[in-house]
Copies of this chain bind each other. A is one copy, B any other.
Amino acid sequence: MTSYLFTFNQFFDMVYSETIKVKIKSQSFSDITGNVEDIVRDSEIEDGVCTIFSVGATSAVIINENEPTLIKDLINSLEKVAPENGIYHHPENAYSHIRSSIIGNSKIVPIKDGRLNVGEWQEIMVFNFDIEEREREVVVTVIGD
């Protein structure tokens, strides 16, 4: 008689995903660092990466310092490239799409020992660049072992 036992859990757990929903005012953001940390913990993945993707063509993800005056400065800089009251061909919210395209909506963070391997001032923030308040969805996918 031969007995053997396999646990394939570590392979089946290579991928774990959750979606965050959050209401955000126009040209504002929500800090989702805590939510992402929770998802990484839930994934039980120790080493790998975590991708953060904001759904919607007028949203974006920034990994940087969550400091209100800094965000004001950042919006002012984006105003130079894609001003809110600029002249555009696309109706209504062209500047929202352009800000989203320049900042980007897909980011990736390394995971080490089950935690985000980021710097002290690197918070994960979702921006809503659309012309009005919107509920934004963010898909967080953890990959690793």
**Chain A binding surface, main DSSP class:** mixed
Task: Determine how close the nearest CB of chain B comes to the CB of A61; give it in whole angstroms.
Answer: 9
Encode A90-106 as 1/0 by CB contact (under 8 A) with B.
Answer: 10001001101111111
A34 interfacial contact with B, CB 8 Å: no
Q: Contact between A90 and B109 (Cβ–Cβ < 8 Å)?
A: no
A15 touches B104 (CB 8 A): no
Say which residue of B55, B63, B89, B108 sits within 8 Å of A119 (CB atoms).
Answer: B55
Number of identical protomers: 3
Instruction: State A100–B107 Cα separation when bound (angstroms).
Output: 13
Residues on A facing B (Cβ under 8 Å): 2, 4, 10-12, 14-15, 17, 47-49, 51, 53, 55-57, 62-65, 67, 69-70, 72-74, 77, 80-82, 88-90, 94, 97-98, 100-110, 112, 117-119, 121-122, 137, 139, 141, 143-145
